[in-house]
Amino acid sequence: MASDGRPRLEAIANPSLRREVIMRVNGSPLQSVYETIVRRAANDVRLADGSRIEMAVETSHIRAGERQGEVRELALTLLEGNLQQMFGLAESLLAAGDFTFSNTSSAVRGYLLAEQGSAEPPPMPRHALLVALEPHQTTEQAARDVLQECFVQIADNVRVVRMSDDAEGPHQLRVGLRRLRSAFSTFAPALRSAETVRLNAEARWLGQEVGRLRDLDVLALDIVAREANAHPDEPGFAVIADALNSRTSAERMRLRETLKGERVTRFLFDLARLVEMRGWLVPADFEQTQRLALPAMDTALSALAKRWKRARRQARDLDTLDAEQRHELRKELKKLRYAAEFLSSLFPGRRVEAFLKRLRKLQNMFGDLNDADLVRVKIGEVVAPGNEIADGQRAAGWLVGASLARAEFGWERAASLWRDLEGTEPFWK
């Protein structure tokens, strides 16, 4: 940067990058988009085991034209010693605090401020991304990559739920937690340890907490809204919608407090530590190293075959399945889909997509069954007997009947959809 504040392209240290930038600029005048002034206070912390960690608190003042923003961050850097100790220090400092994980760079924050007026990225729900696995990877490397993606999806959507009323946030958070549990199951032969079992239980608990809000969102935004739009002359749906709005708002506030709490913070820290520090290692398991070193493809073939076998066994005598057996089949199909998505990049894309397309169709049919069960369980809590309004009672009965009819109508297609899936050559064979 020159003394007048203008950028000096000749000061770019990397020669090839310098040439590329100068060529692209081609003599055009440059104008500053944003400016960041960072105040940094740092100290070295030496722990009892001798580990030395730099602890820095950074306050970034960002200016973009007339717009201004401020970001406060804590950064820990291991200078020497044990990475485990650095995670422990971070957890002890932040576990009881109100903070969020962030991977947003200063440059991104500057452009966000210039373009959108805020240095914080908007709280957009984070969907799962495809994990690009390679056939030459070991099982441990593949598992690490999958678990990293699960962690990012969970952490990002924790932030979304805390900051936004978008119903997609709780949905994607619950999906992320389910994917994490499915990943633990998929790679269990190599990764199973006391810590993965504990984190699986924590993910299950948090999924149940999130599910209470997600169920109300589905009931209000999908099921009740669908019937209300189809029957605008029925006043009872407005009664139910008002009652649901009140319950949903209260549940959202409760969930936000849970997500700010120490238990969720520790779960996120411990999950990050598991991924970054190979927290699945069991010193007493002398054969674990061999299982972790297996080619990822070998583990994929075994895991997918196992999931497919369980699904086929659960679907046996499909026409005679009772409600509980249908629910178990639904869970097995979900686990199969997550495993297939985790491992899909190891196989030819066309064959994967043909299989997943049929699997998704079958799962959509099971969604109607789940909706019917949700209405049956939840609607009585929203419109309890003796409530003020006959209109609400009548609409509640309508919802139960309509959801059951939709589910039964969908179930009539189950055998056909299952035959389509079973007749598709599994892409891992």
Q: How many CA atoms lie within 13 A of 107 on its CB side?
A: 0
| Residue 371 identity | D
Residues 318, 320: Cα–Cα separation, whole Å:
5
The first and second tokens of residue 411, run together, are: 């179930």
Q: What is the pTM of this model?
A: 0.86
Question: 399 — alpha (psi -120 to 50), left (phi > 0) or beta?
Answer: alpha
Question: 93 — alpha (psi -120 to 50), left (phi > 0) or beta?
Answer: alpha
pLDDT tens track for 217-262: 999 998 888 888 888 888 888 888 888 999 999 999 999 999 999 8
pLDDT at 413: 84
pLDDT at 199: 98
DSSP 138: B
- pLDDT over 70 percentage in the chain: 96
Residues 188, 182: Cα–Cα separation, whole Å:
9
Determine the average pLDDT of the residues in 268-273: 92
Q: Which residue has the tokens 């009819």?
A: 405
pLDDT at 164: 94
- pLDDT over 90 percentage in the chain: 45
Q: Which domains does the chain have, with CATH numbers?
A: 31-122 (no CATH), 127-422 (1.40.20.10)
Residues 3, 165: Cα–Cα separation, whole Å:
47
Q: Going by C-beta distance under 8 Å and a sequence separation of 6 or more, which residues neighbour residue 257?
A: none
Residues 30, 12: Cα–Cα separation, whole Å:
15
- Compute, in degrees rounded to 10, the torsion defined by CA atoms 425, 426, 427, 429: -100
| Number of helices (H), then strands (E), in the chain | 16, 3
In this structure, are residues 411 and 369 in contact, taking their beta carbons and an 8 Å threshold? yes
Residue 389 has pLDDT above 70, yes or no: no
The average confidence (pLDDT) of the chain is 88
pLDDT tens track for 117-153: 887 888 899 999 999 999 899 999 999 999 999 999 9
pLDDT at 385: 53
Alpha helices in 51-138 (DSSP H): 83-94, 106-116
pLDDT tens track for 166-204: 999 999 999 999 999 999 999 999 999 999 999 999 999
**Where does the pLDDT of residue 384 fall: very low under 50, low under 70, confident under 90, or very high at 90 and above?**
low
Determine the average pLDDT of the residues in 92-113: 75
Burial of 14 (0-12, 13-18, 19+ CB in 10 A): exposed
pLDDT at 10: 82
Q: How many CA atoms lie within 13 A of 263 on its CB side?
A: 13
Residue 387 has pLDDT above 60, yes or no: no
Residues 207, 213: Cα–Cα separation, whole Å:
10
Do β-strands 67-80 and 35-46 pair in parallel, antiparallel, or remain unpaired? unpaired
- 2-11, 22-31, 233-242: which range is least confident on average? 2-11
Residues 244, 224: Cα–Cα separation, whole Å:
10
pLDDT tens track for 304-332: 999 999 999 999 888 888 888 888 898 99
**Where does the pLDDT of residue 101 fall: very low under 50, low under 70, confident under 90, or very high at 90 and above?**
confident
